[in-house]
Structure 1
Amino acid sequence: MIVAGLGCRKGCSAEDVMSALDAACAEARISRISIAALATGEIKREEAGIIELAEKLGLPLHIVDDEALLEAEPRTRTVSRHSIAKTLSSSLSEAAALAAAGERSEIIVARLISNGATCALAEVKEPG
C-alpha cells in the first residue's frame, strides 16, 4: 500500500497539490492509481486544495495528529525549517505519509515541491 503525504502553502489549489502528487508518482515510476490514500497533518485539515484533491481522486484523506507526526519523525528524510516552525515535524508530508501507512512503512519518494505544494510517498514493507 502506498500513501501520499501532502502539504502546501495556504490557499494552494487542488491542481497545485495534484502537480506535487504527479511529480512524486513520476519519481517513483508509478501511476497515480497506485496511491491507496492521502495524508496530511492536523494543521492542513481545512486546506481546500488538499480536500478537493482527495474528493476528485476518490481517495481517503487521513488527518494525522501532531503526536503521530512526531512518532514518524525518526523515519523522515527531509529537514524543512518551515515545516519545523509550523508543525514540529521536519517534513509534514513525509511524516504524514509514514504515520498513515503504519509502523512498517518507509519513504519511497522523499518530499518533492511543486507549485507551492509538497508530496512524499510511503509504502508498507512486508516483513521478511
Structure 2
Amino acid sequence: MSENRAAPTLVVGLGCQRGCPASTLRALLDQALEAHHIQLQAIKALASIDLKRDEPGLIELAAQLGLPMTYFSSEQLAGYHPQLSHHSEIAFERTGCYGVAESAALALAEQLAQAPARLLICRQKYAQATFALACAA
C-alpha cells in the first residue's frame, strides 16, 4: 500500500448578518449537507471573516458542533475572488471581499490541507446567512 490517501479536508464557510441566530446557521448547514449527501462528521472546521469574530450565532454554532472556528481578514479572503461562484457588491462594500462564505471556506481548507482547495458546494443563501463548502485533498 504505497498510496495512503487521507480523507479530503472539508471546511464550511459561513457569512451572516448581525444577530443571525445559531439555529438559522444550523438549518442552512444541515440542509446543504443533506442535499449533497455529506455527513456532518466529515466537516473538519468552520470559517468566516474576522469582522464576525464576536458574532454570537457563529460562536454558538461552533460550540454546538464541537468544531474549531477560524476567522480571516478581508485581505486574506480577497485573493480568492477569482474562484468565487458569486460576487456580491454588498458584501464587498461591507467587508472588503466579494463573498465571505466561499472565500473563508477556501482559505481554511487550503490552510489545513496545505493544498489547493475548490468549492464543493457553492454559496447557498438562507434568511440572514450564507454557506459554502470547500474541499482540499
CA distance in 2, matches of 1:118, 1:20: 8
**Corresponding position of 2:118:** 106
TM-score by length of 2: 0.86
| Moved segments of 4+, more than 3 Å | none
In structure 2, what residue type is equivalent to 1:44?
A: K
Instruction: Give distance in 2, aligned partners of 1:18 and 1:86.
Output: 24
The equivalent position to 1:27 in structure 2, one of 24, 35, 41, is 35
Q: CA RMSD in A?
A: 1.2
Q: What does the per-residue CA deviation read over 1:82-104, in whole Å, with 9 as the maximum and x for residues that have no partner?
A: 21111122111000000111151
| Structure 1 counterpart of 2:72 | 64
TM-score by length of 1: 0.91
Runs of 5+ unmatched residues, structure 2: 1-8
Counterpart residue number, 2:44: 36
Percent of aligned pairs sharing the same letter: 36
Does structure 2 retain, via aligned residues, the 8 Å contact 1:97–1:120?
yes
Give the match's secondary structure for 1:37: strand
CA positional deviation for 1:26: 2.4
Computing the radius of gyration from Cα coordinates, the structure with the larger value is 2
Contact 2:78 2:98 in 1 (8 A): no
The answer to which of 54-63 and 65-74 deviates more is: 65-74
What is aligned with 2:94? 86
One-letter code of the match for 1:23? Answer: Q
Q: Which moved more, 1:4-13 or 1:108-117?
A: 108-117
Is 2:59 aligned against 1:47?
A: no
In structure 1, the gaps of 5 or more residues are none
Q: Distance in 1 between matches of 2:67 and 2:73?
A: 19
Structure 2 contact 78–103 (Cα < 8 Å) conserved: yes
Cα deviation, 1:93-128, whole Å, max 9, x if unaligned, reads 00000011115100011111123111100000x3xx
SS at match of 1:22: helix
Offset of 1:21 from its aligned partner? 1.1
In 1, are the aligned partners of 2:13 and 2:105 still within 8 Å (CA)?
Answer: yes
TM-aligned CA distance change 1:88 to 1:27, over 3 Å: farther
